[in-house]
Amino acid sequence: MSCPIESFARAGVTVEGSQRGTVILEMRGITKEFPGVRALDDVSFSVRRGSIHALCGENGAGKSTLMKVLSGVWPHGTYSGDIVFEEQTCRFATIRDSEAAGIAIIHQELALIPELSIAENIFLGNEIRQGLGIDWTETRRRAAMLLAEVGLDNDPDTPVKEIGVGKQQLVEIAKALSKNVKLLILDEPTSALNEEESAHLLDLMRKQRERGISQIMISHKLGEIAEIADDITVIRDGRTIETMHVTDHDVDEDRIIRLMVGRPLDNRFPERHPKIGDVLFEVRDWTVRHPVNTERLICKGSNIQVRSGEVVGLAGLMGAGRTELARSVFGHSYGIYERGEVLVGGRRVSTDSVPKAIAAGLAYLPEDRKTQGLNLLDDIKGQVVSAKLKKACQGGISIDWHHVRTIAQQYRQDMRIKAPSVDTPVASLSGGNMQKVVLAKWIYSDPLVLILDEPTRGIDVGAKYEIYQLIGQLAAEGMAVVVISSELPELLGITDRIYTIFEGAVTGCLPTDQADQESLMRLINPTSSRPATV
């Protein structure tokens, strides 16, 4: 078995000058239908050899569906149109077929097995054989070379579950490189990464471009697209709108947004006029131990307050303890509780189980909507009422399905959930529309306190604006809203106050109108983890 990295190292593979800029991929007139919806309607675009081609569009526009057609997830015969790769018309029946041609896709939800080692994951399904068994010595050696190529110094025998999301993303790229990839598809590659990890990944993409690997990048981070892409294709409602070359002087974020949403978006954040009342939600001296390493505190005497009508942000680097704080408060669903209390409306409440937390008026939208926020086997209407089924029952006994359908339909319309009907399985929705279903589920539960963990991760600018509007509306109705976000501009744009967290401790709190990214970063990453007086 040949090793692509060894070939690169020997020959310094690059695209020859006569080849660079020629077309490696054409997708011609791709149309894909699902029951009740046309996901792709005569989509055409091409990718130049040795380039980074960005694919932009709102959630549900058809970007991921198009890439699933290209990578063989949706096999030939389930769509119409042609895929021409390296001047050959391709009819991929499986993902293996596209990989054999040199096309690899890295999905937004990473496809690694946590219990297996890095080396095992890299060569899973592509094992290096020795007789009837696996050559583990050669597997580890080649895995180490691939890890060095993507900038990781981890031992190849390290279980994937022991490394962070950013490193897992790089392992996925190493896995793709092991298959002699010619075209690499990255679906929202930086959505779960912090700024440092994102910058490293973008540098790696530039490096692969120099080596001649063509790349398609799906992203809602328009700043990153402008920084790294050579070409940009915008898709809206399943149709190709326009392809632009970044070297053109009139390509900017405003133009991309206008093409994506079909209208100008003059302000990224809706205007708010908050009416803030008394303290509605309070966490006192919240202290929690790590679920495995019990010597380590993941929440260190945290204190926060949120008033009715107020939107409060939690800022911190990845791993700072923001999610751990939220999950441990909401039903003690993470870590080992040591001490602390939760008050709602000035009254101490028990939140030592999720049902008790919901009964106390808390709702928590998790950062991982697929595994923690939704039952992917259910449909929209079932998920909307799932957090408070008693409310959907007649006489507290049987579910009133007419009520359920009516309520779900109302949420579908009000929140602009793109789906043929409320009977649509949530698993078939785009990421942004899944997020809206999770929001609808928790709003239906009539919470007093709504905790939103990365509510706009992997969501386009149009859908973000709609969620920002909804957050402002809920606060205006008297709810206490907590927003956890890795994007400081987002927190500065939608909150009234921002708490900062470092290594499990609250390090400060700033009114948003007195904060900027620099002042927040000083609190997010202080020289001392000693909590500041709030």
Q: Which domains does the chain have, with CATH numbers?
A: 4-261 (3.40.50.300), 267-361+447-534 (3.40.50.300), 375-445 (no CATH)
- Cα separation, 429 vs 448, in Å, equals 28
Amino acid letter for position 495? T
For 282-300, what is the mean pLDDT?
93
* pLDDT at residue 55, as a whole number: 93
* pTM: predicted TM-score of the whole model, two decimal places: 0.67
* pLDDT at residue 531, as a whole number: 41
Contact 335, 288 (CB under 8 A): yes
For 36-51, what is the mean pLDDT?
91
**Mind listing the pLDDT tens digit for each residue in 176-187?**
888 888 999 998
Burial 274-311 (b: 16+ CB within 10 A, else e): eebeebbbbbeebbbbbeeeeeebbbbbbebbbbbbbb
Burial 174-184 (b: 16+ CB within 10 A, else e): bbbbbbbbbbb
Q: What is the CA radius of gyration of the chain?
A: 24
Cβ neighbours of residue 530 under 8 Å, at least 6 residues apart? 505
- Cα separation, 361 vs 445, in Å, equals 8
* pLDDT at residue 1, as a whole number: 35
If pLDDT is split at 50, 70 and 90, which confidence band does 14 have? very low
For 189-197, what is the mean pLDDT?
76
Q: Which residue has the higher pLDDT, 532 or 59?
A: 59
Contact 339, 287 (CB under 8 A): yes
Query: Virtual CA dihedral for 35, 39, 44, 48, nearest 10 degrees?
Result: -120
Measuring CA to CA, which residue among 320, 318, 286 is closest to residue 305? 286
- Cα separation, 486 vs 509, in Å, equals 16
Measuring CA to CA, which residue among 396, 394, 370, 395 is closest to residue 383? 370
If pLDDT is split at 50, 70 and 90, which confidence band does 19 have? low
Count Cβ atoms below 10 Å from residue 263 Cβ, excluding itself. Answer: 9
- Cα separation, 57 vs 49, in Å, equals 23
Transcribe 436-478 into DSSP letters: HHHHHHHHHT--SEEEEESTTTT--HHHHHHHHHHHHHHHHTT
Burial 190-217 (b: 16+ CB within 10 A, else e): bbbbbeebbebbbebbeebbebbbbbbb
* pLDDT at residue 229, as a whole number: 93
How far separated are the first and last CA of the chain, in Å rounded?
60
Percentages (nearest 5) of helix, strand, coil residues in the chain: 35, 25, 40
Mean pLDDT across the chain: 87
Lowest mean pLDDT across 52-61, 141-150, 406-415: 52-61
Residue 108 in this model has a pLDDT that exceeds 80 = no
Contact 405, 422 (CB under 8 A): yes
If pLDDT is split at 50, 70 and 90, which confidence band does 533 have? very low
Residue 319 in this model has a pLDDT that exceeds 80 = no
Lowest mean pLDDT across 2-16, 149-163, 246-260, 503-517: 2-16
Measuring CA to CA, which residue among 116, 150, 120 is closest to residue 135? 120
Q: What are phi and psi of 78, to 5 degrees?
A: -95, 0
**Mind listing the pLDDT tens digit for each residue in 123-133?**
998 888 888 89
Measuring CA to CA, which residue among 86, 99, 82, 101 is closest to residue 22? 86
For 477-501, what is the mean pLDDT?
94
**Mind listing the pLDDT tens digit for each residue in 423-459?**
999 988 877 788 899 999 999 999 999 999 989 887 7
The sign one gets for the Cα dihedral 412, 417, 420, 425 is negative
Tokens of 244: 């632009």
Lowest mean pLDDT across 23-37, 185-199, 333-347, 349-363: 185-199
Contact 233, 52 (CB under 8 A): no
- Cα separation, 494 vs 486, in Å, equals 13
431: region left, alpha or beta (phi > 0 left; psi from -120 to 50 alpha): alpha
* pLDDT at residue 249, as a whole number: 63
- Cα separation, 294 vs 128, in Å, equals 39
Question: How many alpha carbons lie under 13 Å from residue 441 in its C-beta half-sphere?
Answer: 29
The winner for highest mean pLDDT among 20-34, 138-152, 351-365 is 351-365
For 4-13, what is the mean pLDDT?
32
**Mind listing the pLDDT tens digit for each residue in 361-396?**
999 999 888 888 899 999 999 999 999 988 888 776
* pLDDT at residue 15, as a whole number: 47
* pLDDT at residue 439, as a whole number: 92
Count Cβ atoms below 10 Å from residue 372 Cβ, excluding itself. Answer: 14
